[in-house]
Amino acid sequence: MDRVLSLLWVVVSFEVLTASLAGYASAQTRQGATHDNRVYCQNSPGLPARPGAQGYGRTGTNNPFGSECTVQPAPTPQPATRSRVVELATVGWISEHPNPFDAVPVAAGGLVGPMQALVFKPDWVVKTYLGLIATANDMPPRNLVVSAFRQKQQYRSLMHARVELTTSAQTGEPLRATLQMADRPDPGWTPPFNLQRFPSASLSFFLQVFDRCQSAILDRSINAGQTGQLSGFVTGRHPNSVLQLAAGEQVLFDGIIRFRAGVNTDQVGKCIGSPYHVPWVWNEIALTYANGRYWVRGAASAFPTTWWYVGGGLVHCQPRLADSSFPVIGGLPGGIGGTIDMAKLNAGPALTKGAPTSGPQAPDIAVRGPVDRGDYTVGQPEGGSQWRRGLDDLSSGDGSCGSN
C-alpha cells in the first residue's frame, strides 16, 4: 500500500510540475519576454547544427516561440566623419579693353595711341597705357585647368590649392582643414610688346614716342614678375587678410598672393618717364564656416583684373581700373596739347602708387596687418568689393564676367 501511495505521489508531483512550467512559459511568452532559443534554432547563423534524430531539420520558425530564431542583421555602423576636397584658384591678368584708344575708330589700326603720346601731357601716362594694352593677356578660360593654363604664361598672377575638409557626419560642422596640395604662388609674366595691337609702333616715326626705350617695343622676351614674401596659404586665417567677417564666422583656409611686375618691366616704365616704379598688387581667397554653411570669400586690389575659381569653374570676377578716354584739361580742340587730369583718370590710383623713380625700387618688406595697407600697394576698389558666396551654391563656370 505504501508503494502505491508513493507512486501516486510521484505522478501527481510530476503533473503539477509540468503544468507549472507550461504555465510559466505561456505567461512569459504573453509578457513578451526574450528567450534563449538556441536549443530550438537549428543551424541558426553562427550556431552549430544540432545533430541526431532529435535535431531540427531547418532554421527559421521551427521552435515554440514563433519567429525568434530569425537573426536580425547588425546595423551598419555610420561614419563619425565625412571629408570633401575643395579646389581654389585665383588669376590676376591685364585685359586689353576698355582703353582710351578704343574711343577713336582709327585706333583699330593702332595709329591713335602713339599719336596721343605726342600731343597729351604728361606723355608717360599715354605711354604707360600703350605698354599695358600692348602687353595685355589673353582672356583666361572660364573653366580652368591649371597645368595647361600655366604653360601659356598668359597671366600676371596665379594661385592654386586643394584643401580637404573633415566634417562631423552628424552635424556637418568642420573638424579640421588640411592643405592637400598647394602650388607655389606664381607672380606671372609680362608678355612682349604686341605689335599687332599697335602696328604703327614699329614705324620709325612713332618709335620716337618711346625715345631711347625703342628697344623695349622690339624686344621679344617674356619677363617674370615678382612675388612678395608674405604670399602663401595657411589653414586658419592669414595674418595679412583683409576680409571683413561676419560675427562668429570661422576661417578654415586662406591664401594671399602679393606681386608686382619684374625688374625689366619696371625699368621700361622708368625709361619712358614714369615718376613711379611699378606698385605691389594682391588678391585673396578663403574658405569659411558660419551659420551652418560653408562659404568662399575673396578680395583683391583694384588693379589688375582678378578672377576667382572653385573646382575649376569661374565663380567671381573683379575688373581692373580702366579708362575709355583720357580726361584732358585745356589744349586745342580734341585735346591736342592738353594736360591729362590725373584726378579724373580712373587708372590713376594704380599708375601713381609705386615708389618714386627718383630713388630705387622699394624692397620687398613683409607687411604687418592687412596686405592692402603695405607701402606702395594698390588698395581695394573704391567702396570695397569683397564678396562671399555659399560653397554649395556654386556651380562650374557660373561667374558672370565680361572681357575686363
Q: Mind listing the pLDDT tens digit of every residue in the chain (404 residues)?
A: 555 445 544 444 545 445 454 444 444 444 444 445 445 454 444 445 455 455 444 444 444 444 444 555 667 777 799 999 999 999 999 999 899 988 765 555 466 677 777 788 998 999 899 889 989 999 999 999 999 999 999 999 999 999 999 999 999 999 999 999 999 999 999 999 887 777 666 555 455 555 667 777 778 899 999 999 999 999 999 999 999 999 999 999 999 999 999 999 999 899 889 999 999 999 999 999 999 999 999 999 999 999 999 999 999 999 999 999 999 998 877 667 889 999 999 999 999 999 999 999 999 998 899 999 999 999 999 877 899 999 998 764 445 566 66
Q: What are phi and psi of 277, to 5 degrees?
A: -70, 165
C-alpha cell at 204: 620709325
Q: What are phi and psi of 350, to 5 degrees?
A: -90, -40
Task: Give 119's contacts (C-beta < 8 A, 6+ positions apart).
Answer: 331, 335, 336, 337, 338
Instruction: Provide the phi-psi class of 74: left if phi over 0, else alpha when psi is between -120 and 50, else beta.
Output: beta
Task: Give 26's contacts (C-beta < 8 A, 6+ positions apart).
Answer: none
Instruction: Provide the phi-psi class of 386: left if phi over 0, else alpha when psi is between -120 and 50, else beta.
Output: beta
Q: What is the DSSP letter of 397?
A: T
Q: How many CA atoms lie within 13 A of 356 on its CB side?
A: 2
**Amino acid 34: pLDDT:** 47
**Amino acid 59: pLDDT:** 45
Q: Are 156 and 189 in contact (CB under 8 A)?
A: yes
**Amino acid 200: pLDDT:** 63
**Cα-only R_g, the chain:** 39
**Amino acid 35: pLDDT:** 47
Q: Are 314 and 399 in contact (CB under 8 A)?
A: yes
